[in-house]
């Protein structure tokens, strides 16, 4: 193991010993949608309006969980209805990983063009860092909601 790896490992272990969360990167955004056109438009809008942000993309919840576990994005734009793993299931899996690994929970902005399930209400009312965006969403709304989460 390199000295740098030992330092990183040591810092993570130190954070866990002190009951501190391993922080998410609020300038790193993960766009999760099964429709490539939506992923591409969201990425373009975010990149143009928030050039300090890095945008990652995933086409389903399974990919989102894997990317989050690897990169600790601070803000997730998560479609609710996707094949392989839907957005709500991915949310709960990411929440489980955060609890086990002592990671900070990212802000999740659920995006949907459909009526959201009633059980999503609990997620949204129990934590103001999360939110719901109804498609089609305007550029102004998307950027405004991301900025709110970046400042949290």
On average, the pLDDT of the chain sits at 88
The model carries a pTM of: 0.85
Q: Dump strand ranges (E) for 10-152.
A: 25-32, 54-58, 73-79, 107-112, 131-134
> Band of the pLDDT at 11, cuts 50, 70, 90?
very low
Query: Domain 21-151: which topology?
Result: Rossmann fold (3.40.50)
Tokens of 143: 């950027």
Q: Give the start-to-end residue ranges of the domains of the chain.
A: 21-151
pLDDT of 117 higher than 90? no
Within 10 angstroms of residue 44's Cβ, the number of other Cβ atoms is 12
In the numeric block, the tokens 């272990």 are attached to: 13
Tens of pLDDT, residue by residue over 54-109, are 999 999 999 999 999 999 999 999 999 999 999 999 999 999 999 999 999 999 99
pLDDT of 27 higher than 90? yes
Q: Please report the pLDDT score of residue 19 as a whole number.
A: 63
């Amino acid at each position: 193991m390199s000295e740098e790896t030992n330092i990183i490992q040591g810092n993570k272990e130190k954070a866990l010993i002190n009951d501190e969360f391993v922080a998410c990167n609020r300038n790193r955004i993960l766009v999760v949608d099964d429709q490539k056109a939506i992923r591409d438009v969201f990425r373009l809008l975010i990149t143009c309006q928030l050039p300090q942000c890095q945008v990652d993309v995933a086409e389903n919840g399974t990919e989102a969980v894997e990317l989050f576990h690897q990169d600790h994005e601070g803000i997730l734009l998560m479609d609710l209805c996707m094949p392989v793993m839907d957005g709500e299931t991915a949310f709960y899996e990411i929440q489980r990983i955060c609890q086990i690994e002592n990671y900070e929970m990212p802000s999740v902005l659920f995006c949907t063009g459909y009526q959201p399930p009633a059980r999503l209400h609990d997620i949204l009312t129990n934590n103001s860092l999360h939110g719901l965006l109804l498609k089609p969403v305007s550029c102004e709304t998307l950027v405004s909601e991301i900025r709110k989460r970046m400042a949290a």
